A and B are shown apart, each in its own frame.
Chain A
Amino acid sequence: MTWTHKNLLGLEGLSREEITFILDTAERFHEVLDRPIPLVPALRGKTILDMFYEPSTRTATSFAMAAKRLSADVVGFSKASSSVSKGETLLDTVRTIESMRVDGVVIRHSCPGAARFIAQRIDAFVVNAGDGAHEHPTQGLLDLSAAHKRLGSFEGRHLVVVGDITHSRVARSAIYGFSTMGAEITVCGPATLIPPHFKKAFPNVGIETDFDRLLADADMIMMLRLQLERQGKGLFPSIREYRKLYCLTAERMKKAKPDVVVMHPGPMNRGIEIEPAVADGSNSVVLAQVRAGVAVRMAVLYILAGGELEH
């Protein structure tokens, strides 16, 4: 197929064909990652700028590794080490990037729309590595990739997303990605962490506050990381109560399908939203997600840079 988008800002609006194309491309890079020297010259001479305005270990590392495996030159900064901390505006940063003539930009930012803000103002392609609570498209793609390996087709499969839906870009990208691929989705969490008007925004997505009612029917369970500081804002009363209602425990797993796929975007609060025995158990694809992350990001960088895979 012909890829027509300059950027990857979200999974919203991508067609099933386009998502499949990225996942298929990622599959080929999975093979590359299995080689003794996991390196291809696909992006030789290209420069990727990683801009991380928010602390990130796994996403930043994963993107950097993906670019390097493609032989791209990677430069980057995080908020602490750049002029951003000296109060430079995003607009000035954009102008700086333009004059440096990079080929692609990967941006993580706490403000929804930040990746789009940059993409509208530069010629280089932009990959959104998470913009506030809006979208985190490569996370959605790696979730799809990891789940696909276990389940095959998503048609009619039921994904349950559990936790802080309001503040989760992971949840939003999952909703767009998995629903486009044919899955049914239910979000689950305390009423204070599901946005009002959610039903109107996502008419085909179910809402449930009682986790236990969803276990038997779920083909995939995606546990979201609980931001502990939300307790201080009064969005939930205590860790122990949250744990009681929403932790994916071994006990709860007994009520789930034997082959249910358990996902977590990481980093995990072990013992809060997921019990260690479940996180490390046979249903968990947590490490496969991390691995899929590199392959998926290789695919995204590769496609946006205009590469053609040799057969």
Chain B
Amino acid sequence: MRRADVEIADGRIARIAQTLPADTDTRIIEAQDKLLSPGLVDLHAHLREPGREDTETLESGAWAGLAGGFTTICAMPNTQPPTDTREQAAFIRKRSDELGLARILPIGAATKGRAGEEITEYALLKEAGVVAVSDDGDWIYSAEVMRRALEYAGMLGMPIITHAEEPSLCEEGVMNESAVSARLGLKVRPAVAEEVAIQRDIALASCAGSHLHVAHITTARGVELVRQARAKGIKVTTEATPHHLLLTDEALLSFDANYKVNPPLRTEEDRKALLEALKDGTIQAIATDHAPHAIEEKEQELDLAPAGMIGLQTALSVLWEGLVESGIIKPELLLGLLTTGPASVIGEKVELKEEIPANLMVFDPAARWTFDAQTNRSLSQNSPWFGKKLKGKVEHVFLGERHFSF
């Protein structure tokens, strides 16, 4: 990190220097003690279009992203219909271009209809702009299908993103298996379900020689498996979500369905292991798993409410306060986990240098704001931070010739 002036002209970064002379026709944005960074990259968001446009659209999701500093959002394919054809993927790319907001990159379904049986047309999907394939939300149950999917995606240089929870261990489960679940009598999705799933998928990725990306990792044992596999040279990357990095299953003591997520919030011990894994590079990315749900769906009995919380707009604020200000990780590391880290998973580069198109955001760590109906850009509000005062706010985003202020 350094102090510098940055000049943007004609949608490009024209100059970066300790001090730049200001021309009279240059608009100056004072960013003393604020942070200028490349736009953030989210590897994992559910934007609900097509199918559930009442809860989010590509447009509202892209706005929520921008307001949170994200200029690239990877859209998970579990829409209705799912992104399992070239045409569906092309629709998302086209819509993203039309909107000109945060760039939306489609993730293709790994299997047709996300049914876990037949692999989709990875080459055609890639041609249409797909950056990775995944049946996120479900684990690919058949080891044979997963093996072939890894082999085929590997041939095309695309990662497969696995939602690592062995489903037979999670039947009807709503929370982590822990002392808290033992008290509350809630059905569980145990840590061992993640461990079993990661173990199998690492074995298959190793066998295929392909790139496996483990979505939203949550457990101490899970990160240990990834760490060991990486040490052996197996191509495994992984991401963690802000909520798994900041919250634990104790939150379920409130029975608030906003804390119901898949995989579930884990124990403090797991959370600490995730933080260690951020520091030693086992985890390359922080991804939001932004998952909008309608109020009437979420405000139900915990057993019936759908899993997931939104996160695009709040991720940087809550992570900055929770991890950087509290001294747990350095600001450079956090920004790396939200920019270069996730970009590298999908084979992209993030830079801040002269002559490249502007793709920047300005974050004021000291600004205070309330995440509520007034400020929320998502069509949904299922977040434990909804209604709360937050510290740290994205104030500007520069995308090519466009400038957004928040």
The smallest C-beta distance from B332 to any residue of chain A, in angstroms, reads: 37
Chain A 178-206: CB-based contact to B (< 8 A → 1; otherwise 0): 00000000000000000111101110000
Of residues 261 through 320 on chain B, the ones whose CB sits less than 8 Å from some CB of chain A are 296, 299-304
Q: A89-B296, A116-B255 are in contact. Are A201 and B183 (CB under 8 A)?
A: yes
Instruction: Determine whether the beta carbon of B300 is less than 8 Å from that of A112.
Output: no
A8 within 8 A of partner (CB): no
Give the interface centre of A112, A114, A169 by most chain B CB atoms within 10 Å: A112
Q: Pick the interface stretch among B42-50, B173-181, B195-203, B387-395.
A: B173-181
Q: Is B155 among interface residues, defined by CB-CB distance under 8 A?
A: no
1/0 contact string of A123-158 vs chain B (CB within 8 Å): 000000001111100000000000000000000000
Distance between Cα atoms of A89 and B338 in the complex (Å): 39
Contact-residue size bin, chain A (C-beta under 8 Å from the other chain)? 20 to 34
C-alpha gap A267/B4 in the complex (Å)? 76
> Is residue B346 within 8 Å, beta carbon to beta carbon, of the partner chain?
no
Indicate if B185 sits at the interface (CB-CB under 8 A).
Answer: yes
Residues of B within 8 A of A131 (CB): 185
Cβ of B182 within 8 Å of any chain A Cβ, yes or no, is yes
Q: B301 touching A201 by the CB < 8 A rule?
A: no
The residues of A that contact B190 with a CB separation of less than 8 Å are 196
Given A117-B255, A197-B177, check contact A172 B296 (CB 8 Å). Answer: no
Q: Tell yes or no: B186 within 8 A of A by CB.
A: yes
Give the complex CA separation of A112 and B260 in angstroms.
13
Q: How far is the CB of B195 from chain A (nearest CB, A)?
A: 14
Can you list, as one digit per residue, whether each of B54-85 has a CB less than 8 Å from chain A (1) or not (0)? 00000000000000000000000000000000
Q: In the complex, are the beta carbons of B185 and A112 less than 8 A apart? A: yes
Residue of A whose beta carbon sits closest to that of B183: A201
Summarize B's interface: helix, strand, loop or mixed: loop
Tell me how far the C-beta of B177 lies from the nearest C-beta in chain A, rounded to whole angstroms.
Answer: 6
Interface string of A85-120 (1 = CB under 8 A from B): 000011100000000000000000111111011000
| Minimum C-beta distance from B208 to chain A (A) | 33
Determine which of A110, A167, A172 lies in contact with B183 in the assembled complex, contact meaning CB atoms within 8 Å: A172
B9 contacts chain A at the CB level, 8 A cutoff? no
Say what secondary structure dominates the interface of chain A.
loop
Contact of B182 with A111 in the complex, beta carbons under 8 Å: no
A195 and B182 in contact, given A90-B301, A111-B302 (Cβ under 8 angstroms) = yes
B184 at the interface (CB under 8 A from A): yes
User: Which residues of B are found within 8 Å of A169, using beta-carbon distances?
Assistant: 185
The answer to whether A111 touches B301 (Cβ under 8 A) is yes
Residues of A within 8 A of B (CB): 12, 89-91, 109-114, 116-117, 131-135, 167, 169, 172, 195-198, 200-202
22 pairs, A vs B, C-beta closer than 8 Å: A12-B183, A89-B300, A90-B300, A90-B301, A91-B296, A91-B299, A109-B301, A110-B303, A112-B184, A112-B255, A131-B185, A132-B185, A132-B186, A133-B186, A167-B185, A195-B181, A195-B182, A196-B177, A197-B181, A197-B182, A200-B179, A201-B182
8 additional A-B pairs beyond A132-B185, A195-B181, beta carbons within 8 Å, are A90-B300, A112-B185, A131-B185, A132-B186, A133-B185, A167-B185, A195-B177, A196-B190
